[in-house]
Amino acid sequence: MTTLFLSDLHLADAQPGITRRFLDFLRCPAREAQAIYILGDLFEYWAGDDDLDDALNREVATALREVTDRGVKVAFIAGNRDFLVGTDFAQRSGVTLLDESVVVNVEGTPTLLMHGDTLCTDDVAYMQFRNMVRKPAYIAQFLSQPLAERKAQIAAIRARSEADKQAKAAAIMDVNQAAVEAAFRAHGVSTMIHGHTHRPADHEHQVDGAPCTRIVLCDWQASRGEYLRCEPGSRTRIALGG
Ligand SMILES: [Mn+2]
């Protein structure tokens, strides 16, 4: 069985090279896999499923559908950018929407999958924002506005968050060690895969005396992308260049 993991593509009109690389990925390695997990921030933003008529969104959903129609299981965990992805997108693309943290069996190893933003508890302002915008009542109110109004609000939030990021210490935007250990304990696993921090690395942790592995996926940029391939007995990061 071949399982692929990827995250943080941040697909957007402004980055056509990344979209092209993702469509290439869906044409080739994706179709030879049995399962693919996209761990959030597939899109730079998602204003609501009524934006599926947007050219980029439609192209991506259609390309995913060609993969899922071949029997490849594609699952998605929402990121902080695209947590409004909903059932219409799932129906169009054939992708299964998962809860924010799930444990799956990867080649015999129970593995915790998440986007990773919930581990960044030192960023108190972000965690407060997250708590607010993930509430069903907030989401319902947001989605009740016209699409153009939602896009304008998202653009304003993104501009503000870019400015905040410049001011925040780098350490605050990385995971909190206690939150990582708590996640291992809460799910009873010793392996975790997540994205979000854009700091790809394999980390070894000791949790209650037991060795644990935390794999951080790579974000995709104009010049490169990466996915993780898990097969019996091997776990490999595959770089996509050019
Ligand atoms: Mn993220």
Q: How far apart are CA 215 and CA 133, in angstroms?
A: 27
- Ligand 1 centre and the CA of 71: distance in Å? 28
- Ligand 1 centre and the CA of 194: distance in Å? 10
- Ligand 1 centre and the CA of 9: distance in Å? 10
- Ligand 1 centre and the CA of 33: distance in Å? 25
Instruction: State the average pLDDT over residues 99-110.
Output: 97
For residue 158 the two structure tokens come to 């993104």
Q: How far apart are CA 57 and CA 36, in angstroms?
A: 19
* Cβ–Cβ < 8 Å for 64, 32: no
Which CATH number belongs to the domain containing residue 235 in this structure?
3.60.21.10
The DSSP line for the chain is: --EEEE----B-TT-HHHHHHHHHHHHTHHHH-SEEEE-S-SBS----GGGTTSHHHHHHHHHHHHHHTTT-EEEE---SSSTT--HHHHHHH-PEE--SEEEEEETTEEEEEE-SGGG-TT-HHHHHHHHHHTSHHHHHHHHTS-HHHHHHHHHHHHHHHHHHHHHS-GGGGS--HHHHHHHHHHHT-SEEEE-SSS--EEEEEEETTEEEEEEEPPPP-SSEEEEEEEETTEEEEEEEE-
Question: Does the pLDDT at position 119 exceed 90?
Answer: yes
- Ligand 1 centre and the CA of 47: distance in Å? 16
Residue 196: pLDDT band by 50, 70, 90 thresholds?
A: very high
CB atoms within 10 A of CB 3: 20
Q: How far apart are CA 116 and CA 237, in angstroms?
A: 18
pLDDT tens per residue, range 220-235: 999 899 999 999 999 9
**pLDDT value at residue 161:** 87
Q: Regarding beta strands 35-38 and 3-6, do their DSSP bridges make them parallel or antiparallel, or are they unpaired?
A: parallel
Instruction: State the average pLDDT over residues 169-187.
Output: 94
- Ligand 1 centre and the CA of 16: distance in Å? 19
pLDDT tens per residue, range 26-82: 999 999 999 999 999 999 999 999 999 999 999 999 999 999 999 999 999 999 999
Instruction: State the average pLDDT over residues 173-186.
Output: 97
**pLDDT value at residue 242:** 60
Question: Does the pLDDT at position 191 exceed 90?
Answer: yes
- Ligand 1 centre and the CA of 21: distance in Å? 19
For residue 156 the two structure tokens come to 């304003």
- Ligand 1 centre and the CA of 95: distance in Å? 19
- Ligand 1 centre and the CA of 51: distance in Å? 20
Q: Looking at the 3D structure of the chain, how many domains does it have?
A: 1
**pLDDT value at residue 88:** 98
Q: How far apart are CA 22 and CA 63, in angstroms?
A: 9
**pLDDT value at residue 34:** 97
- Ligand 1 centre and the CA of 209: distance in Å? 30
**Structural domain span for residue 172:** 3-241
**pLDDT value at residue 163:** 87
Residues with CB under 5 A from ligand 1 (ion): 41, 79-80, 196
Residue 215 region, left (φ>0) first, then alpha (ψ -120 to 50), else beta? beta
Of 83-92, 135-144, 154-163, the one with minimum mean pLDDT is 154-163
- Ligand 1 centre and the CA of 41: distance in Å? 5
- Ligand 1 centre and the CA of 82: distance in Å? 9
pLDDT tens per residue, range 43-59: 999 999 999 999 999 99
